[in-house]
C-alpha cells in the first residue's frame, strides 16, 4: 500500500508540474521588430564605395573618371544588371552615359557586381 501511494503521489506531482508548465505557455509576448540595414563597412573595414573604388582601380587604373563618377556608374551598372540588361546591355547603357571605353565599362561592371549587387555574379560570370 505504501508503494502504491508513492507511485500515485509521484504521478500527481508529475501531472502538477506538467499542468503548471502548460499554464505558463499562454500567449507569447510580442517580439520587438528587427531592422536590417546594410553594413557601414565591409569585412575589409572599407565602406562599400571604398571597396568598389579599390576594385575598379585594380582592374583599370587609367584615372579617366573621378571616384564620384565611377561610383555613380557602378550604381547605374547594378540597376541595369538587376533590370535584366545583362553585361552587354549594361555596357551599352554605360556607353550612352559617357563611358565610351570598353575596358572602363567592363571594369565598372565587374567592380559593381562584386560590391553593390553580388546577386548578379552569375550573369557577370556568364557574360
For the chain, what are the domain ranges?
48-126
pLDDT at residue 123 tops 50: yes
Beta strands in 2-78 (DSSP E): none
Q: For 14-41, how does the pLDDT look when each residue is reduced to its tens digit (9 = 90+)?
A: 344 344 434 444 444 444 443 333 445 6
Instruction: Please report how many Cα atoms fall inside a 13 Å half-sphere around the Cα of residue 116, on the Cβ side.
Output: 24
Are 72 and 52 a contacting pair, CB within 8 Å?
A: no
Give the max Cα distance, the chain. 98
Q: Quick check: 54 and 46 in contact, CB under 8 A?
A: yes
Question: What pLDDT was estimated at residue 100?
Answer: 85
Amino acid at each position: 500500500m505504501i508503494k502504491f501511494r508513492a507511485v500515485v503521489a509521484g504521478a500527481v506531482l508529475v501531472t502538477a508540474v506538467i499542468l503548471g508548465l502548460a499554464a505558463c505557455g499562454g500567449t507569447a509576448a510580442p517580439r520587438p521588430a528587427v531592422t536590417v540595414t546594410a553594413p557601414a563597412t565591409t569585412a575589409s573595414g572599407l565602406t562599400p564605395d571604398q571597396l568598389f573604388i579599390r576594385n575598379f582601380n585594380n582592374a583599370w587604373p587609367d584615372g579617366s573618371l573621378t571616384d564620384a563618377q565611377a561610383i555613380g556608374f557602378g550604381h547605374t551598372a547594378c540597376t541595369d544588371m538587376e533590370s535584366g540588361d545583362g553585361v552587354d546591355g549594361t555596357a551599352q547603357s554605360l556607353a550612352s552615359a559617357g563611358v565610351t571605353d570598353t575596358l572602363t565599362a567592363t571594369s565598372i561592371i565587374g567592380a559593381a557586381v562584386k560590391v553593390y549587387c553580388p546577386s548578379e555574379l552569375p550573369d557577370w560570370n556568364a557574360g
